[in-house]
Structure formats: C-alpha cells, structure tokens
Structure 1
Amino acid sequence: MLETISFAQRQRLAYIDFCLLFKGAIYRQDLINRFEVGLSAGSRDFSLYKELAPHNLIYDAREKRYFQTEKFEPLFEHDAKRTLVKLANDISDGFDAIGDIEFPVESASSLNVPDIYIVAKIVQAIVNNKSVSVIYTSLSSGSNARELVPHSIVDNGQRWHVRAYDRKSKSFRDFVLSRMSKVTVKTSPHPHEEVSHDTAWQHKISLEIIPHPKNIKHPTAIELDYGMQNGVLSIDVRRAMAGYLLRRWNVDCTKHASLRTGEYQLWLKNHEVLANIDNLAIAPGYIAEQTTYG
C-alpha cells in the first residue's frame, strides 16, 4: 500500500514512524510544524499510519500525543549507521526510511554497526531523561546487567559509544553501543546522575597541535592539510573526548615528540593540558594511570 501513496505523504508517515521509534511519542503538532501542513492533513496522516500499523501507536487524550506501544514494529526500514549520522547532525526527520539518493561517496570501513532497536531505546532514554537497564559485555568482566543514565551518543572515529552515568561504579563512563543488548527504559535519574554533573563532559580544554617537529621535513604541507594558523591548529574539545581525537588523528602526545614512526605527523605542543584527564591511555604516547572506558 505504501507504493501507492504520494512521496510527500510517505515522508510524513516516515517521520511519524521515526519519532515513535526514537522518541517513543509524537504530538500531532510536531508533524504539522515540520511539514507545514494543515490540521486536517496531519490528522489524515495519523489515521493512515494507524491503518497501516494499528498496533504501533496509541493516543493519550490527557497528554494529547501519540505513544509507542509495546507491540511496535517500524513501518519503515531505518538504517542504523545513517540514522546515527542524522541524529548526530540533528537531521532527525526519518527521510532515510524511504530511500535517499545514493551518492558515489565511500568512507573508511567501521566496526560493527549497532542494532537499530538498541539505538532507539538509548535515544528514547536520552530524549525523555530516563535511566536504562542493559546487558553489557565489557573486556574486563564479560556480560553483566548494568544500570545507566545515558546523556549522549558519540562517534569516536571507530565506533559509536554512549556517555552515561554508571550506577555500578558511581561515575560517568563510556560504553560501546554495539556491546549493549536487552535495553529497557526505566525511571528518571537522580540529580547527581544528570549530564550537568559530568564534569569531564561539561569542561573543555584547548589542544595546540602542530606538525611533528622530528618526523616532518616540510611542515607547510601538514599546515595546509589541517588549516593551521601560524603553524598551529587550536581545537577546543571536551575533556571526555580528548583521548579519542588524539588517537584518531595519530597525534604524538609524548613530552619530547619521541614517537618516530611515519604515521605520527602531528604533535601535541601543550602536553601539560592533559594532566588530570581520564581515559588518556588511548592517546598515542601518553601514559595514563587509569581509563574509564567500559
């Protein structure tokens, strides 16, 4: 039946489907505002969606919005990788569900793509300020039940991870999204578990990155690659993300630029800025006492 519906209406149905999957609910006004349609057209879209997927949504007259049901099954196919990219760039319209144009652009291979239903539950928890119960498989302790309060999903250059308060360790940590299973959205968090108390996330540091002084004979080439000004690239980054950026770019973080192999074309000039930052065991050449990678 979807094939007989106009492209514009399929877009609107995909948006309803997207919001129910990733937010858990949608107001009729959300659809009207997004697509600038009239009230009657919006009502027809919800009626058609309910006809196509009668067990996917239920209307709450008190809150005046539609909620996802326990029997929800997406009406459209939502690709996990493309959806994460769109969420990261605030393009949460669900258009990818109905087939975007394929452009001849390739990216480097990434690790395992997360399960779309796991992504949806985590996004629901973040959007609605809820905690989650998950089964998480870590390198140190294997598979165990964890209670987390997620606040952000991050692409660290190799894989997607979730920044969350971990009730087991009583600290904010990073959890690889593809290592999660059986996610259940739970109750609202306590104040100390919310993002405002994640100091490593809230606070930023300034990194001064320059061409490697010992490995690069013609630093101007590197300066052009990275758009450096006066030979320096200054980047403000969250403390919680510093290690990932430095590893992704192969930035030599040793005090005396002592990493001499060819992949190290950059050096962190202000090495001292990394003092007292967790999760720097992954920064090339920097020896950290501990890591908070789950």
Structure 2
Amino acid sequence: MLDTISFSQRQRLAYIDFCLLFKGAIHRQDLIKRFEVGLSAGSRDFTLYKELAPDNLVYSAQEKRYFQTESFLPLFEHDARRTLVKLANDISDGFDAIGDIHFPVESASSLNVPDIFVVAKVVQAIVNQKAMSVIYTSLSSGSGARELVPHSIVDNGQRWHVRAFDRKSQSFRDFVLTRISKVTVKDTPDENELKDCDEAWQRMIPLEIVPHPKNIKYPTAIELDYAMEEGVLVLQVRAAMAGYLLRRWNVDCTKLASLRTGEYQLWLRNQASLANIDNLAIAPGYTSEEVEYQ
C-alpha cells in the first residue's frame, strides 16, 4: 500500500515512524508544524499510519500524543549510519527511509555499524532525560549489566560512542554503541547525573595544531590542507573529545615532535592545554610528563 500513496504523504508517515522509534512519542502538532499541513490532513496521516501498523502506537487522551507500544516494529527501514549522522547534526526527519536524494560522493566504508534498535532506545533515553539499563561488553571485564544516564551520541571518526554517567563507577564515561545490548529505558536521573555536571564535556580547551616541524619538507601544503592562518590551526574542542580528534588526525603530541613516521603530518605545539584530561592514552605520543617538563 505504501507504493500507492503520494511521495509527500510517505514522507509524513516516515516522520511519524521516526519519532515513534527514536523519541518514543509524537504530538499531532509536531507533524503539522514540520510539514505545514492542516489539522485534517495531519489527522488523516495518523489514521493511515494506524491502518498500516495498528500495533505501533497508542493515543493518550490525557497527554494528547501518540506513544510507541511495546510491540512496535518500524513501518520503514531506517539506516543506522545515515540516521546517526542526521541525529549528530540535529536533523530529525526519517526521510532516508523513503529515499533521500543521492549525490555522487563516496566515503570510506564503515566497519562499525550499531544496531538501529539499540540506537533508538539510547536516543529515547537522551531525548526524555532518562536513565537506561544495558548489557555492556567491555574489553577488560566482558559482558555485564550497567545503569547509564546518557546525554550525547558521539562520532569519534572510527566508531560511535554514547557519553553517559555510569552509576557503577560514579563517573562520566564513553561507551561504544556496538557493545551495548538489551537496552531498557528507566527512571529519571538525579541532577548530578545530567550533562551539566559532566565537567570534561562542558570544558572547552584550545588546541594549536601546526605542520610537523620535522616530517614535512613543504609546510605550505599542510597549511592549505587545513586552512591554517599564519601557519597554525586553532581549535576549541571539548576536553572529553580532545583525545579522539588528536588520534583521528594523527597529531604528534610529543614535546619535541619526536614521532617521525610519515603518517604524522601535524604537531600539537601547546601540550600544556592537555593537562587534567582523562582520555589522552589515545593521543599519539602524549604522556603527562610532557606537560610537567615544560
């Protein structure tokens, strides 16, 4: 039946499906505002959606919105990678499920694709400011139950993480999305478990990145690559994200630019800015002594 209805109505049905899957609920007014349609047209869309997927939503007269049911199965196929990119850029439309416009641009293949239903539950917890119970498999301790309070989904360039308060360690940490399973959205968290209390997330630090002084013969080429001004690229980044950025771009973080292999074309000239950051084991060549000796 989906093939027989207009493209514009399929867009609206995909949006309903997207909101139910990733937010857990949708107001009729959300649809009307998003597509600038009349009340009667919006009502027809919800009626048609319910005909196509009667077990996917239930209406609450008290809250005046539709909620996802426990038996929910998406009416459309939502691509995990494209959905995560859209969520990271604050685009909530679900249109990829009905065929976005494709441009002849390719990117490197991803080896790390999270389960779309895990992503959906995590996003629900974030959007509704809820804690969640998960089974998490770590490299050090294997599989086990954890209670997390997530606040952001992060692309570190290689894989997707969720930034969350971990009730087991009583600290904010990063958890790889593909290692999460059996997600259950739970209670409302305490104030100290929310994003505003994540000091490493809230703190911005400057990074001064320059062409590697020993590995690069013609630094002007690197300056052009990164649109450097007067030979330096100055970035303001979250302290919690600094290690990921430095690793992704192979930035030499040693004091004396001592990483001499060809992949290191950049050097961090202000190592002192990395003081008191937790996740710097992944920053190329960085040790805490680099700051102490300056």
Cα distance in 1 for residues equivalent to 2:271 and 2:64: 54
CA distance in 2, matches of 1:88, 1:204: 19
AA aligned to 2:78 is H
SS in 2 for 1:208: strand
Q: How far off its partner does 1:90 sit? A: 1.3
Per-residue CA shift, 1:97-152, capped at 9, x if unaligned?
Answer: 10123322211122320000000000000000000000000011000000000000
**CA deviation vs aligned residue, 1:231-287 (integer Å, no higher than 9, x gap):** 000000000000000000000000110000100000001011101111000000012
Return the offset for 1:288.
5.4
Tell me, what secondary structure is at the counterpart of 2:48? helix
The separation in 2 between residues aligned to 1:72 and 1:8, in whole angstroms, is 23
Cα root mean square deviation, aligned: 0.9
The residue type paired with residue 133 of structure 2 is S
TM-score if structure 2 supplies the norm length? 0.97
Q: Deviation per CA, 1:140-172, whole angstroms, max 9, x where unpaired? A: 100000000000000000000000000000000
The 3 A distance-change label for structure 1 pair 61 and 72 is same
Matches within 5 A, 1:135-214: 135-214=135-214
Of the structure 1 ranges 102-111 and 143-152, higher mean CA displacement relative to structure 2 is found in 102-111
Specify whether residues 46 and 153 from structure 1 end up closer, same or farther in structure 2 by C-alpha distance, changes over 3 A only: same
Matched with 1:240 is 240
1:86-105 equivalent positions in 2, closer than 5 A: 86-105=86-105
Distance 1:177 1:288, change over 3 A: farther
Is this contact kept in 2: 1:78–1:116, CA < 8 A?
yes
Q: C-alpha separation between the residues in 2 aligned to 1:90 and 1:215?
A: 39
8 Å Cα contact 2:207/2:268 also seen in 1: yes
Residue equivalent to 2:284: 284
SS at match of 1:113: coil
- TM-score of the two chains, using structure 1 as the length reference: 0.97
Q: Which 5+ residue runs of structure 2 have no aligned equivalent?
A: 290-294
State how far apart, in whole Å, the 1-side matches of 2:184 and 2:288 are.
34
Q: Number of matched residues?
A: 289
Q: Percent of aligned pairs with the same residue?
A: 82
Q: 3-state SS of the aligned residue for 2:241?
A: helix
Q: Please tell me whether the aligned partners of residues 112 and 158 of structure 2 are also in contact (alpha carbons under 8 angstroms).
A: no
Distance in 2, Cα, partners of 1:255 & 1:146: 39
Are positions 1:9 and 2:21 aligned together? no
Aligned to 2:27: 27
**Aligned position for 1:292:** none
- C-alpha distance in 2 between matches for 1:50 and 1:60: 14
> What residue in structure 1 maps to residue 80 of structure 2?
80
Q: Which residue of 1 aligns with 2:292?
A: none
Find the counterpart in structure 2 of residue 48 from structure 1.
Answer: 48
Is the 2:209–2:269 Cα contact (8 Å) retained in structure 1? yes
Return the alpha-carbon distance in structure 2 between the equivalents of residues 29 and 80 of structure 1.
Answer: 27
Query: Which secondary structure state, in structure 2, belongs to the residue aligned with residue 281 of structure 1?
Result: helix
| Runs of 4+ off more than 6 Å | none
Letter in 1 for 2:269: K
